[in-house]
Amino acid sequence: MVLFPACKLRPPPAQPNEFARAFSMSTSTSNRRYRVRMGPALALTAALAGLGCNYDALSVSDTDGEGDVRRGGNVTIAFIGDQGWEAAGQANGPRAVLQLIEDEGADAVLHQGDFDYLDDPAAWEQQIDDILGPDFPYFVSVGNHDVAEWDTDGGYKARMEARAQRIGVAWAGELGEMAALEFEGLYLVFVAPGTLGSDNSVYAEYIAQRLSANDAVWSICSWHKNQTLMQLGSKGDETGWAVYERCREGGAVIATAHEHSYSRTHLLSNIESQVIASTSDTLVISEGESFVFVSGLGGKSIRDQDRAGDWWAAVYTSDQGANYGALFGEFGVDGRDDLAHFYFKDIDGVIADEFWVASDFGG
Ligand SMILES: [Fe+2]
């Protein structure tokens, strides 16, 4: 397993850490659909969290092929990006991830952009349909590799519009570019900072307007690109900070991709300045505090870790032996609409990150 280069040991807290409390609370619930398994490495992670340890590299748990961390809940979303394409009959990258999503019982995919890298919308959607079916809810934010065939006849946008109509999901705005929709009680906002032509401030203002006009327990912002400090590779500052900050102020989860690895921040009270509100593995999001993740291991390639920072709670790159996978968010677990359980699982069954999110909008 990997080291914890930025770990600063502090005196242990008087109370058990919140992760442990949430875990014990959950295991006492009688109507769970799925068994929870806490691997030794994950226990180490939780123990380090209890010691107030900020770590730049994550210890991952090898589930030995039997790990099943699913907890069910009202709705499960799979977050992916940077997918790629492989021929039918192969399942080493994108098709393996889609199969994982199917196997985990997800209710929808939120794809944070960069689809097949081939400018072939028909082949890309066929890859989805082959595994998840033509009526599986699949929502996207346009990525830079999707622009050429985004708004063409039979292009990605038209296909996503047809899909949403086919499954009876209405949206406001321009789907995949600057749009909002409700899915199973989740409020989803899609924008394209740094990718399409509008100034980043336009997307930021749109986010602020949509989030202030909605009182959903769960809101999620989705886009493709990054600010350099909000990814682990060599990506430049392409989105501006305002989109992040408007989502944080609105209490929305921030889903991104573009860099081909997985990373997730602690709870932040200022994203531009990387102000950490809490290092707990139970993140309580509210108006003013939220977190960011990059889920870019959808199948195209896997990159290494070039950057670090104490705001990162989880890091999963080729330096940690990462494989392709998806971040799963299960909303409404343990009978609580305001509680969500997240885990990143790769196609080898490794659980690279697991955390809880409570919404302050739940009352
Ligand atoms: Fe990209």
Separation of 25 CA from ligand 1 center, angstroms?
39
Can you point out the beta strands (E) in 292-338? 292-295, 312-316, 325-331
36 within domain boundaries? no
Cα(142) to centroid of ligand 1, in Å?
Answer: 9
C-alpha 144 – ligand 1 centre gap (Å)? 5
Query: How many domains in the chain?
Result: 1
In a domain, 94, yes or no: yes
**The pTM is what?**
0.85
Cα 85 to middle of ligand 1, angstroms: 15
| Residue 32 belongs to some domain of the structure | no
**135 Cα: distance to centroid of ligand 1 (angstroms):** 26
Q: What separation in Å is there between the alpha carbon of 113 and the centre of ligand 1?
A: 7
Tell me, in angstroms, the distance from the centre of ligand 1 to residue 81's CA.
8
Q: How far, in Å, are 129, 239, 266, 273, 287 from residue 356 at the CA level?
A: 31, 27, 11, 24, 18
Distance CA 72, CA 287 (A): 26
Specify if 8 maps to a domain: no
Q: Is there a domain that residue 47 lies in?
A: no
Ligand 1 geometric centre to CA of 13 (Å): 41
Q: Are 299 and 352 in contact (CB under 8 A)?
A: no
- Ligand 1 midpoint to CA 345 (Å): 21
The CA distance from 178 to 200, in Å, is: 11
Distance CA 309, CA 245 (A): 19
Q: Using alpha carbons, select from 231, 296, 219, 214 the residue that is nearest to residue 265.
A: 231
In a domain, 34, yes or no: no
Q: In this structure, which amino acid lies at residue 137?
A: P
**177: domain range?**
70-362
Question: How many angstroms does the Cα of residue 296 sit away from the middle of ligand 1?
Answer: 9
- Give the DSSP letter of residue 176: T
Q: Output the CA 114–ligand 1 centroid distance in Å.
A: 5
| Ligand 1 centre distance from Cα of residue 63 (Å) | 30
CATH number at residue 88: 3.60.21.10
User: Is residue 48 in some structural domain?
Assistant: no
Could you list the pLDDT tens digit for every one of the 363 residues in the chain? 332 333 322 222 223 233 222 322 222 222 222 222 233 333 334 333 333 333 344 455 554 444 689 988 899 999 999 999 999 999 999 999 999 999 999 999 999 999 999 999 999 999 999 999 999 999 999 999 999 999 999 999 999 999 999 999 999 999 999 999 999 999 999 999 999 989 999 999 999 999 999 999 999 999 999 999 999 999 999 999 999 999 999 999 999 999 999 999 999 999 999 999 999 999 999 999 999 999 999 999 999 999 999 999 999 999 999 999 999 999 999 999 999 999 999 999 999 999 999 999 975
CB atoms near residue 298 (< 10 Å): 29
Task: Evaluate whether residue 96 is within a structural domain.
Answer: yes
